[in-house]
């Protein structure tokens, strides 16, 4: 847990967010600055800095986050057309919030490679 981490504060209900799914371990909410018609963020409640900070003991949590991303995408109606799940890691990876999050993007065709 981190007092000044924006995603920890969302997880604790101290900052508002449009939450679409939540449970004891994790939550999914809408990105403040969406890059696609549907843009969700899936985060663990526990403060983990990034995918790179995951430990072998976090295996269940890592799987849980992916399955929550899948569940949120299904509920948003993205499964048939397809969607993208992305984790930015560190400065060259484009990570701006240092609390692990999966982006779930959908509702338009995605290009590759990413910028």
Q: Supply the residues annotated as catalytic.
A: 101
Which member of 8, 29, 100, 102 binds ligand 5GP (CB under 6 A)? Answer: 29
Position 78 contacts Zn ion (CB under 5 A): no
Binding segment toward ligand 5GP, per CB under 6 A, in 59-67, 69-77, 89-97, 107-115: 89-97
Which of 5, 21, 22, 31 is the binder for ligand 5GP (CB under 6 A)?
A: 31
Measured distance CA(111)–CA(105) in Å, rounded: 12
By the rule CB under 6 A, 22 interacts with ligand 5GP = no
> Which residues make Cβ contacts (< 8 Å) with residue 27, sequence separation at least 6?
10, 11, 19, 21, 42, 43, 45, 68
* Residue 87 tokens, joined: 């984790």
Q: Which partner in ligand 5GP, Zn ion, none is near 99 (CB below 5 to 8 A by kind)? A: Zn ion
Please report where in the chains the tokens 């969700």 appear, as a residue: 40
Separation CA 57–CA 37 (nearest Å): 35
Interface residues with Zn ion (CB under 5 A) are 2, 5, 7-8, 47, 99
């Amino acid at each position: 847990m981190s007092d000044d981490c924006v995603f920890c504060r969302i997880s604790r209900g101290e900052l508002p967010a449009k939450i679409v799914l939540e449970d004891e371990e994790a939550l999914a909410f809408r990105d403040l600055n969406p890059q696609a018609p549907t843009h969700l963020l899936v985060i663990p409640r526990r403060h983990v800095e990034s995918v790179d900070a995951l430990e072998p003991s976090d295996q269940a949590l890592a799987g849980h986050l992916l399955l929550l991303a899948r569940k949120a995408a299904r509920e948003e109606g993205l499964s048939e057309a397809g969607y993208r799940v992305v984790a930015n890691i560190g400065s060259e990876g484009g990570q701006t919030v240092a609390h692990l999050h999966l982006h779930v993007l959908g509702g338009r065709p995605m290009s590759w490679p990413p910028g």
